[in-house]
Structure 1
Amino acid sequence: MASTPTKPEGNGTKPQLSQRELDVVAKAWTCINDVKNGVPTIDSKKLAEMGPYASADSARHIWKPIERKLLAIAGVTPTPATGKGRKRKTDTADGETPDTPTKKPRARKNTKAATKKNEEEDGDLVDGEA
């Protein structure tokens, strides 16, 4: 089964939904939680139970590409998700670039050759050696 494109084609046609995708849309319609900015949010747990899908995560992965197609058909461009990651400071208050801490270099592993060399230099005998 060939998948349908998620983006409009070069000739201006809009993406089409397959029969399977239409079935998922019908199930998702009953799982609408809320509508934000004109876009419905789907309860993934409920969709997983109706699907039947193994988990809410798998139901969400099934729904997202279909949602993108529906938005493309409607001509709506979704707003990108805003990241909640930490923001890095590039300049300090006085305009200087902050000093970034450097990573401590790794210590070298002792190899047999290095261990023998250290023993020869020390001249000490280990207990039990003659």
Structure 2
Amino acid sequence: MRALLAIVMLVLLSVPALAVRPDEMLADPTLEARARAISTELRCLVCQNQSIDESDADLARDLRVLVRERLVAGDTDDQVRAFLVARYGEYVLLNPVVAPHTILLWVAAPVVLLIGGIVVWIGARRKRHAEPEPALTEEQKRALDELK
């Protein structure tokens, strides 16, 4: 039973590695390592938040091949990323860049969280300092008993 579980775990862990096909791999291990590192940072444009390194989509395969072609041509890692951003836009990057046009993306979540925390703190403080509701008067108690 444990052997079967171990085999299943190994197969599940190797699924992302199956996305890169042997015919895509470069003969030079250094270039291949660079290509894999770049591929993990690039978003598959047809998948949901998956890198091109782990995606089986045809477009992801084309992008992996393109990355390898650019590396073989002598481009640096930054040049390959810049080429793909120029071609597909910044959406191709899994981690967006910090720039003036993306500052809202980086600042919005902490600001919303801070505002929400302040609202909860103010609400809790008001509730704690609120006056307790007055007890029923004798007349109200009799009226309530009559309704029963």
What TM-score, normalized to structure 1?
0.29
Structure with greater proportional strand content: 1
What TM-score, normalized to structure 2?
0.26
Structure with greater proportional helix content: 2
